[in-house]
């Protein structure tokens, strides 16, 4: 299975390619530092500047959150969840860190495959 990685769209000239990369890529939003044993919210958003379709045959089917190679959480998203409108899908996960985390996310598009986020390092104190 091919995994597509995010490329900084500011380095790309063609608008169509920027749209294609951005709207499929997951982005991780959470605190840079977390307290050991305390619950924190991690948001994974698919698309930052461009929204993804939510059509019957073209939608984001699943989002997964990893710490290194360990799966922390996953969310399945049926077609039509966003009202069949083009939107940035947002999924929220709760995590309780025990040690430094290397977070990454995968988003599964039913037409364009698997897309991986940029890794986010979270310090745990």
Average pLDDT for 44-59: 93
- Give the pLDDT score at 113: 94
Contact 68, 102 (CB under 8 A): yes
Token pair for 17: 């390619």
> Kindly report the CA angle at 35 between 122 and 93, in degrees rounded to 5?
65
- Give the pLDDT score at 63: 98
Q: Where would I find the beta strands (DSSP E) of the chain? A: 3-5, 26-29, 33-34, 40-46, 60-67, 70-76, 89-95, 101-109, 113-116, 120-124
Q: Would you say the pTM of this structure is higher than 0.85?
A: yes
Enumerate domains of the chain plus CATH numbers: 3-124 (2.60.40.730)
């Amino acid at each position: 299975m091919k995994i597509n990685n995010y490329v900084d769209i500011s380095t790309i000239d063609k608008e169509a390619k920027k749209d294609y990369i951005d709207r499929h890529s997951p982005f991780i939003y959470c605190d840079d530092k977390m307290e050991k044993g305390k619950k924190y919210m991690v948001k994974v958003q698919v698309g930052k500047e461009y929204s993804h379709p939510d059509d019957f045959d073209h939608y984001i089917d699943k989002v997964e959150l990893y710490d290194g190679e360990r799966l922390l959480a996953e969310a399945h998203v049926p077609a039509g969840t966003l009202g069949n409108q083009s939107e940035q899908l947002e999924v929220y996960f709760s995590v309780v860190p025990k040690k430094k985390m290397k977070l990454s996310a995968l988003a599964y598009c039913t037409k364009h495959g698997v897309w991986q986020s940029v890794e986010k390092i979270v310090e745990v104190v």
